Structure 1
Amino acid sequence: MSRRHILAAAPSLALMGCSRAPTASPVIDLPSLKSTAPFPVGVCAMTGHLDDPAWVDLVSTHFSQLTPEWEMKMERLVRDDGTLDFTASDRLADFCADQRMRLFGHTLIWYAQEHPWFQALPEDRFATEHDRYVRTTVERYRGRAVGWDVVNEPVAEDGNGYRECLWSRRFGGVDGYIRRAFDVAREADGEAVLFLNDYNLENNPTKGASYLRLVERLLAAGTPITGLGTQSHLDITIPEGQITAFMRELAGFGLPIHVSELDASLESGRRVDVRSDATRESQQRDRVVELAEAFMALPPAQRWAFTVWGARDSDSWMRLREDGGGPNDRPLLFDDRGRPKPVAADVAQIFAGG
């Protein structure tokens, strides 16, 4: 199951829970994460979560920023005739206003969402309609969305080069389509922080280096990138120090940095995994702690936000994966019942400067 299909299925599946009773968690007296951190602490959400009082209570206690997991993506917004449906995204924006949370827009242009309506457009209409979509979406949330993932995941899966997609084919390669999206987004909102977002940047040094080269080239060309997003879907088996090294390189641009989609799967996807639960949980804690410490080591002006990709384990998109993860994965800070896990206490202590 691809990430694209997981996201499409998620609104109906996110609240179903897992197939076995959650692992018992120790009783942890966790302070509010948002009160301990000197920067916004974010979480992703879908509209179905808003009908779950336990989720609302957990999120309002610990998080100060919200990223729509699905409802601001092109496949949700664009109807078959090219008109836009903001019903679901408006509901999440209203929830943020009610809870006094920051709203983060995710995502405008993503290689994985080549909407059929855009694919069918003739060449002489494509640029106009692309710009209309980006402009209309950003303008609708101007003054409410503090930032946007303008372009998502442009680097090739293995890190060797960049993805070819509908947008790159129509706008002359990776630089052309990224520059156009950022230029239009900046015209639509002169205040929002505009991010280039990607994943596996800490896990794969080749991909991290390709991302850094792309950012350098785009900035030199005048592209209005004003923030850098690293998703941080962490591989818990990567060597110690690899996360820290990448974060230092990322900081070299002097731009705000968003840890935008943190989770850390306990599952490897291997047919045979002889690691004990205790070993995997220790590896998970070590990698998440390293990320939190590396983020805290950034200059304060660069610590834009630290977002986890789901409030509870049962909310995680990894529960639906076939290539790892699965219904028993526990990749987040809170268990299925919303109880904090030891890794959440680690993060809170780091954020508090302990």
Structure 2
Amino acid sequence: MNSYVTKDDLDWVRRSFVNDQAVKGRVQDLLSSRTVQLDNYSSWLARSIQCIDLTTLAGDDCPSNVARLCSKAAYPLSTHLTRDLGIENGQLTTGAVCVYPARVKDAYQGLKRIEANIPVASVATGFPSGQTSLALRLDEIKYAVQNGAKEIDIVINRELALAQKWKELYTELVEMRKACGESHMKSILAVGELCNLTNVYRASLVAMMAGSDFIKTSTGKENVNATIPIGLVMCRAIRAYNRKTGFKVGFKPAGGIRTSNDVLQWMTLMKEELGDEYLTPHLFRIGASALLNDIERNLAKQLTGEYFLPEEMPMA
């Protein structure tokens, strides 16, 4: 992480532009010529589970549904599916459990109760809009960390990004990074509100310069959330930042990723653009709630030939 932003850094951000047509062509090539072979289908889906931030961000969240979420995160597949895949019981877990700050303590205690070594992630900083004072946003980060959150999903100030006030955005994000302490910071760009791909690329660079451990597409509340073209642009920013600084920053798409086909497309993007290391929870996370249910159904179909109804694969 840079301790300060230089004129050269800001010039790099301002000089950066995205060729929309080139992005479109690359995405078409990826989706038409790269597919997961049937023999590898089950192993790729099982691997994707490790990268899921299993999420509940509902107004009616309570200790009981958070406890169920924790149980599902620790044991994401039924016993017979786990056995048929050759996985030891308890060996496969999701990447994290993601909740609101007020539910962090519930998640922390729920995971501790079942002895699951899974981090608690918390959204913060006035999620999803970020329309509170910086002081309140920083206090919310500190509250989540004090209650046991090891990962903080913050939202950037879209007003500053849209006004091209990159130094001001950087300064805010540095303060948020400090407030996170030893917890990882995932910076949500809210790409659906940034208007164009060039702004997405520039905001990605600034978030990484400020010390983000991950950059994340969306809150899931915008009209446009995680799309493959946007993901490609953010991956290219991650690659450029790595080449310039030597730091590897993780990537988290979120919002609208609901099916097994969706997640395989994202994993293909990671492999092709950033390499196999970005198929691990250390550098790749997926923000989702309903996705795990579809993965479990598809794995059951591959292994048993039966396609179960969604309600036959309950959350816990």
Please give the range of the TM-score, normalised by the shorter of the 2 chains.
Answer: 0.5 to 0.7
Of 258, 261, 267, the match for 2:250: 258
Residue 58 (1) aligns with residue 76 (2) = yes
Whichever structure has more helix as a proportion of its residues is 2
In structure 2, the partner of 1:197 is: 188
> Contact conserved, 2:104 with 2:144, CA < 8 A, in 1?
no
Q: Deviations over 1:65-116 (max 9, x none)?
A: 22324x22xxxx3xxxxxxxxxx3212112333252331432231464568x
Q: Give the aligned partner of residue 214 of structure 1.
A: 206
CA displacement at 1:300 relative to structure 2? 7.2
For residues 310 and 135 of structure 1, do their structure 2 counterparts lie closer, same or farther at Cα, with a shift above 3 Å needed? closer
Q: In the aligned structure 2, how far is the partner of 1:203 from the partner of 1:340?
A: 35
**Distance change >3 Å, CA 308–CA 341, structure 1 → 2:** farther
Do 2:124 and 2:137's aligned partners in 1 also have CA atoms closer than 8 Å? Answer: no
Aligned to 2:285: 307
Whole-angstrom CA distance in 2 between matches of 1:265 and 1:301: 16
Pick closer, same or farther for the CA change 1:303–1:296 going to 2, 3 Å. farther
Match of 1:275 in 2: none
1:101-146 deviation digits (Å, cap 9, x = unpaired) = 331432231464568xx67xxxxxx84x6655443432332xxx43
* Percentage of identical aligned residues: 8
Instruction: Kindly provide the CA deviation profile for residues 173-198 of structure 1, in whole angstroms up to 9, marking residues without a partner as x.
Output: 43443232222333xxxx33333332
- The one-letter amino acid of 2:226's match is L
Give me the whole-angstrom Cα distance separating, in 2, the residues matched to 1:113 and 1:200: 12
Counterpart residue number, 1:109: 125
**Counterpart in 1 of 2:157?**
154
Paired position in structure 1 for 2:294: 335
Residues 143-174 of structure 1 deviation map (CA, whole Å, 9 limit, x = unaligned): xx43323x3133459x64469xxxx9xxx943
1:91 is paired with a residue whose SS is: helix
> 1:193 touches 1:227 (CA, 8 Å); kept in 2?
yes
| Counterpart for residue 227 of structure 2 | 235
Contact 1:153 1:197 in 2 (8 A): yes
Q: List runs of 5+ in structure 2 lacking aligned partners.
A: 1-37, 57-62, 78-89, 219-224, 304-316
C-alpha contact (below 8 Å) 2:255/2:287 kept by paired residues: yes
Give the whole-Å Cα distance in 1 for the aligned partners of 2:170 and 2:105: 31
1:140 pairs with 2:151: no
Distance in 2 (CA, whole Å) between partners of 1:107 and 1:194 is 10
CA-to-partner distance for each residue in 1:213-263, whole Å, 9 max, x for gaps?
A: 4236xx4xxx5x151322374325x49965653442354444343333445
Q: Does the CA-based 8 Å contact 1:228-1:256 persist in structure 2?
A: no
- Report the counterpart of residue 53 of structure 2 in structure 1: 43
How far 1:297 moved relative to its partner? 0.7
> 1:177 and 1:40, CA in 2 relative to 1: closer, same or farther beyond 3 A?
same
The one-letter amino acid of 1:58's match is P
TM-score, scaled to structure 1? 0.48
Q: CA 1:198 to 1:251, structure 2 compared with 1: closer, same or farther past 3 Å?
A: farther
**CA–CA distance in 2 between the matches of 1:41 and 1:52?**
15
Aligned mate of 2:271, from 275, 293, 309: 293
TM superposition shift of 1:32:
8.7
More strand by share: 1
* Number of corresponding residues: 235
SS at match of 1:340: helix
1:104/1:146 contact within 8 Å kept: yes
Runs of at least 5 residues in structure 1 that lack an aligned partner in the other structure = 1-25, 78-87, 120-125, 267-279, 316-331, 346-354
Structure 1: how far apart are the matches of 2:138 and 2:234?
36
In 1: Cα distance, 2:186 partner to 2:159 partner: 18
Report the equivalent of 2:106: 91
Instruction: Provide the C-alpha distance between the structure 1 equivalents of 2:144 and 2:70, rounded to a whole number of angstroms.
Output: 29
Give me the whole-angstrom Cα distance separating, in 2, the residues matched to 1:239 and 1:131.
28
Query: 2:276 & 2:43 partners in 1: Cα distance?
Result: 23
Counterparts of 1:5-16 in structure 2, within 5 Å, are none
SS at match of 2:157: coil
CA displacement at 1:339 relative to structure 2: 0.9
Corresponding position of 2:239: 248
Evaluate the alpha carbon distance shift between residue 54 and residue 113 of structure 1 in structure 2; reply closer, same or farther with a 3 A threshold: same
Give the 3 Å change call, closer, same or farther, for CA 133–244 of structure 1 in structure 2.
closer
Amino acid at match of 2:76: L
Matched AA of 1:63: T
Q: Structure 2 vs 1, CA of residues 110 and 207 (structure 1 numbering), >3 Å: closer, same or farther?
A: farther
Give the whole-Å Cα distance in 1 for the aligned partners of 2:151 and 2:226. Answer: 23
How far apart in 2 are the matches of 1:94 and 1:108? Answer: 19
Distance change in 2, residues 1:288/1:194 (3 Å): closer
Structure 2 partner of 1:180: 175
- C-alpha deviations, 1:273-321, integer Å up to 9, x for none? xxxxxxx997x4774243331476166799724322225xxx3xxxxxx
